[in-house]
A and B are shown apart, each in its own frame.
Chain A
Amino acid sequence: MIHSFQDLLKLGALAGAGVSVAIIVWYLAKRPPLGRLAKMLLFLGLGVFPTGVALMGNIAGFEFTKTRQFCGSCHVMGPYVRDAGDPASKSLASAHSRNKWFGHDSCYTCHADYGMFGAVATKVTGLSHLYHYVTEYAMTGPDGEGGKPLKLYKRQDLEKKKLTEAEFTKHVNGVCKQCHSTDDPMWIAAGAHEGVLDGLRGDKTACIDCHSDIHPTALHRRAKQARAEESKP
């Protein structure tokens, strides 16, 4: 069934691939003389249809790489994706994943770079994710417990002093402000936003300073949670 533009592209790419394979198999099996007709058919089978498959496949593939399902296909993302998909969870990730507009792409929506070449930068970073996944996290337990704790690239840059605190705050606030403009009267009236409005608008205060329960089941937080449980009377 076709539910989205991505499904349509996928179907188009697979149909093109089918025609291309049929022409090539016919040529390799029959080995006809290369007359004008055979040349034209081969041009379609070796050039036109595969180019269509590549173009449509690239777009369909790119769209799929934005989905939560794709992010969760690496086991180290298990705790994050399970929490995001948990309807009972009160985490920020889960609340945003229940959004009907972008919930299915919630990882990408919040973690992608949002600048002019944000999509390209995000995909280049994604390739380095894949490299680290294969070289460092492949055999590290069901949720990657044996690997290094995962951290945001921007946080790593902050720790390595490649980013200043102000740049980091501006970046993470920018992600939230894609939707939460800070101008909506209801938003201003909610919680304690009014008191920190200037700080938020000027990126002196980070949204995540207060809204820190983003991924409560993240591995690096488990030890803290265990200690907190133990210290409960």
Chain B
Amino acid sequence: MKHAQIKKLTYVAAAGTLVSVILMSLALVFPNPLLLVFAMSLGQGIGILSLALYLLAIALDLNIGGALVDNVDEQLQAVREDHVRK
């Protein structure tokens, strides 16, 4: 699993949580039967799935050992090329 894929996983988890939290908040502000049922089932389901995805991303990141940095693959490549040049 590449760093870029792990970052994508984190973005998906963040977007999913955003949808879930908005759905739950809407049900609190405008409580009606359908919205409450959606928030308590679909909303919380998306939230749990998103948290699971985020924890998976963190576990994978720990597995490959390092902080996720933007363009890390390119940066690694640059370091390797620099090393070869030297």
Using CB atoms and an 8 Å cutoff, list the residues of chain A in contact with chain B.
10, 13-14, 17, 20-21, 24-25, 27-28, 31, 33-36, 39, 42-43, 45-47, 49-51, 53-54, 57-58, 60-61, 64-65, 70, 73-74, 127, 130, 133-134
How many angstroms between the C-alpha atoms of A91 and B36 in the bound complex?
Answer: 31
Most central of B11, B25, B50, B68 by chain A CB within 10 Å: B25
Interface of A, helix, strand, loop or mixed by DSSP: helix
A residues near B61, Cβ cutoff 8 Å: 34
Identify the 10 closest CB pairs spanning chains A and B, nearest first. Answer: A34-B68, A33-B69, A17-B25, A46-B17, A46-B54, A24-B18, A24-B14, A35-B67, A17-B21, A57-B24
How many angstroms between the C-alpha atoms of A46 and B56 in the bound complex?
Answer: 13
Using CB atoms and an 8 Å cutoff, list the residues of chain B in contact with chain A.
7, 10-11, 13-15, 17-18, 20-22, 24-25, 27-29, 31-34, 36-37, 39-40, 44, 47, 50-51, 54-55, 58, 61, 67-70
With A27-B14, A34-B7, A130-B37 in contact, do A64 and B31 touch (Cβ < 8 Å)? yes
Give min CB distance, A139 to chain B, whole Å. Answer: 15
Give min CB distance, B15 to chain A, whole Å. Answer: 7
Give min CB distance, A45 to chain B, whole Å. Answer: 7
Asked if residues A61 and B14 are in contact (CB atoms below 8 Å), the reply is no
Asked if residues A33 and B24 are in contact (CB atoms below 8 Å), the reply is no
Asked if residues B37 and A73 are in contact (CB atoms below 8 Å), the reply is no
How many angstroms between the C-alpha atoms of A14 and B5 in the bound complex?
Answer: 32
Give min CB distance, B54 to chain A, whole Å. Answer: 5
B residues near A70, Cβ cutoff 8 Å: 31, 33
Asked if residues B33 and A33 are in contact (CB atoms below 8 Å), the reply is no
